[in-house]
Amino acid sequence: MKIIPAIDIIKGKCVRLTQGDYGKVKVYRESPLEVAREFEDAGLEYLHLVDLDGARKGKVVNWAVVDSIQANTALRVDFGGGVKTEAEVEHLLDLGIEQINIGSIAAREPDTFSNWLQKYGPENFILSADVKDELVLSHGWTEQTSISIYNLAARFEKDGLEFLTCTDINSDGMLQGPNFGLYKKLKKRLPNLKLIASGGISSADDLTELAYINMHAAIVGKAIYEHKINLQELKNI
């Protein structure tokens, strides 16, 4: 199972939210690049980079952070947050971003995402679904839809979708463990997708259990910044 540390950005700083609430922002570090370098120095290979300003505004905002991490580390970055246009997709791919997370567009304009999967290749994208009670949220967790995570993912499988990240908002930032039941259901109902766990991971034991149920990858955020898991533990999972 891949271990993917996370950096969330607001106003160019490294932050975390609690349960997706922009009113509950905690700034951990002033420089996301310094954090990324620490991950790389610890022997980690991947990075989940999220532009929270972009997610809320509907366009990528923190380009400078993306540029600096791409230019100054060799991390394999998946990026999300506000990607809404083909120009943004092409710019991110030109920068060498490994994969692009698509959330709101997939829920609100599914034909657009289908076209991107076919035009640029499904290997370049992750369907990133933030869910509450198995229903998808959009626009930086601020808008509830009536679309189930299962129906949304199945919609894009015919277009070649390979990767799905699912964040359970009830768990995210709570450090009380991920929603294992949800991931087991996703594995059963969407057996052909490579599933990435996100939200609530609080210990190395959580990661061991996610590996046991054969998740493709797990994203770890707040547990790192709150020193619940150290970087060496991540490397050794």
Q: What is the pTM of this model?
A: 0.94
- Confidence band (pLDDT; 50, 70, 90) for 174? low
pLDDT in tens, 159-168: 999 999 999 8
Cα–Cα–Cα angle for 200, 205, 211, rounded to 5 degrees: 85
Q: Are 200 and 168 in contact (CB under 8 A)?
A: yes
| Integer Cα distance of 35 and 28 in angstroms | 10
| Integer Cα distance of 160 and 117 in angstroms | 7
Domain boundaries, the chain: 2-236
Candidate CATH numbers 3.20.20.70, 3.40.50.360, 3.60.15.10, 3.40.630.30; the one for domain 2-236: 3.20.20.70
Active-site residue set: 8, 130
State the pLDDT at residue 172. 63
* Mean pLDDT to the nearest integer, 199-225: 95
